[in-house]
Chains A and B, each alone.
Chain A
Amino acid sequence: MIEVVLNDRLGKKVRVKCNEDDTIGDLKKLVAAQTGTRADKIRIQKWYNIYKDHITLQDYEIHDDPKVRKDG
């Protein structure tokens, strides 16, 4: 279980607990549950790499407490 921090630079900073083998799509659903934005409106990126929905966090090498940016 890892804990990922997402920030949308507009005031929403969210810590989400998830498994390493969750996909980005699952992470978006968890974030949507926590922030109230719709899951399909969320775009998750790191610097300017936009993360695709079907790839797992493990494959993107997202480990505990990285800085991942969330965009609405």
Chain B
Amino acid sequence: MANRTDPSAKSIHGTNPQNLIEKILRSKIYQNVFWKEQCFGLTAETLVDKAMELDHIGGTHGGNRRPTPFICLVMKMLQIQPDKEIVVEFIKNEDYKYVRVLGAFYLRLTGTDIDVYRYLEPLYNDYRKLRRKLGDGQYSLTHMDEVIDELLTKDYSCDIALPRIKKRLTIEAIGALEPRKSALEDDFEEEEEKEDEEQPMDTDVGGHDKDYYRAQSPTKERGRDRKRDSHRHRDRDYDREYERDYDRDRGRGRDRDRDRDRDRERDRYRDYGREGGGRRRSRSRDRKDDGEERRRRRGRDRDRDRDSSGSPRKMQEPVKKKKEEKKKEDGTDHPDPEIAEANRIRASLGLKPLRP
């Protein structure tokens, strides 16, 4: 039968190698025309010829999830199970990039952790363009090293769930592999020296773990993070200011309500001033105590002046207002909890809120 695995084939990851591709996708491949016509009775040699004719990678596409020839050939390789030498030959060949990707994909599915890292990491240096077919049928541009990165870091690619491999750090820790030496290491060290001279503004610690694991130059990412997170950085300081003030002024939480309820403000102030220990009792007193802050806050709303405790407030007020407005636009504060929940999910997916 055409769909049976070669009886002399070994089991991979404890299962029939064809089971590495899940049932739905497997059935789709078996019913596919390319599989039935071209992949019948292929051997390792004739498989190479078919692989050379590939011109795109991808999983499934279209409304009924048609498989691509790439995936059909992956399935065929799982079925006939070529030797490791042949797969390594696929990977080593320089001329046909799609053959390379095919070999790399097959190795990622079937090889041991150490083999995967050993043979796939040199492919990071290959930056040739590849054509990828997306789920909606359109093509997109990607590069060989991006695809390899996806194979090594993600656990789902081309509609196939990739088997778990140990993290590189773990394998280095047990000594089976050398720490990764990047081809860009010299450039990276130059950048590092330049970075150390500048003011380190980036406090994104999470990014560092990712960089170490992938052993790519973190400077590019740091630059990106800096631009992206610069407004967030300010907000973090803003929150820290808030917390510090909380320790100093006990009734901190009430201050926020104060912004909204102007009417009750004066009364609250009077009580608060008595508790808080004199910071806000009267304007003259304030002027004496926080003369400098007063000067800086001149021209702003009196109430707000009394609330704030430092100059960073100037920038933070409009930011806080923007945050509140944005929240309302998302619709996540809808009175009906079901709709609020639905809007929250929509916002996380990037959709606009529900319109009644």
A19 x B65 contact (CB < 8 A): no
Q: How many residues of B contact A (CB 8 A)?
A: 19
Can you report 6 A-B residue pairs in the complex whose CB atoms are below 8 A from each other? A19-B354, A22-B351, A29-B349, A33-B345, A43-B63, A50-B64
Tell me which residues across on chain A come within 8 A of B355, comparing CB atoms.
1, 19
With CB as the reference atom, state the residue of chain B lying closest to A16: B342
Interface residues as binary, A32-49 with B (CB distance below 8 Å gives 1, 0 otherwise)? 011000001101000000
Across the interface, A43 reaches (CB within 8 A) one of B64, B345, B354, namely B64
With A and B bound together, what is the CA distance between A41 and B60 in angstroms? 9
Q: How far is the CB of A22 from chain B (nearest CB, A)?
A: 7
| Separation of A38 and B112 alpha carbons in the complex (Å) | 27
Query: Does A19 lie within 8 Å of B349, measured CB to CB?
Result: no
Minimum CB distance partner of B356 in chain A: A1
**Closest A residue, CB atoms, query B346:** A30
- Chain B residues with Cβ below 8 Å from A53 are 63, 136
Q: Is the CB of B135 within 8 A of A40?
A: yes
| Beta-carbon contact of A52 and B351 below 8 Å | no
Which residues of A are found within 8 Å of B136, using beta-carbon distances? 25, 53-54
Q: A54: nearest residue on chain B (CB-CB)?
A: B136
Alpha-carbon separation in the docked complex, A29 to B350 (Å): 10
Contacts A26-B349, A30-B346; is A17 near B339 (CB within 8 Å)? yes
In this complex, the interface size class of chain A, counting residues with CB under 8 Å from chain B, is 20 to 34
How many A-B residue pairs have C-beta atoms within 8 angstroms? Tell me.
Answer: 40
Q: Does B328 contact A (CB under 8 A)?
A: no
B352 interface residue per 8 A CB criterion? yes
Contacting residues of chain B (107-137) with chain A, CB-CB under 8 angstroms? 135-136
Output the least CB separation between A27 and chain B (Å). Answer: 10
Residues of A within 8 A of B345 (CB): 30, 33-34
Asked if A18 CB lies within 8 Å of chain B CBs, one says yes
**Cα(A40)–Cα(B156), bound, Å:** 12
Q: Which residue of A lies closest to B25 (CB)?
A: A41
Given A30-B346, A33-B349, verify A17-B354 contact (CB < 8 Å): yes
CB of B157 to closest CB in A, whole Å: 12
Partner of A30, one of B135, B338, B349, B356: B349
Smallest distance from the beta carbon of B352 to chain A beta carbons, Å? 7
Closest CB pairs A-B (n = 9): A50-B63, A1-B354, A29-B349, A40-B135, A17-B342, A33-B345, A1-B356, A19-B355, A26-B351
Q: Which residues of B contact A33 (CB under 8 A)?
A: 345, 348-349
A66 within 8 A of B: no
Cβ of A25: which chain B residues have Cβ within 8 Å of it? 136
Question: CA A34 – CA B349 in complex, angstroms?
Answer: 12
Cβ–Cβ contact B65 & A43, under 8 A: yes
Q: In this assembly, does B173 line the interface, its C-beta being within 8 Å of a C-beta of chain A?
A: no
- Chain B residues near A26 (CB, 8 Å)? 349, 351
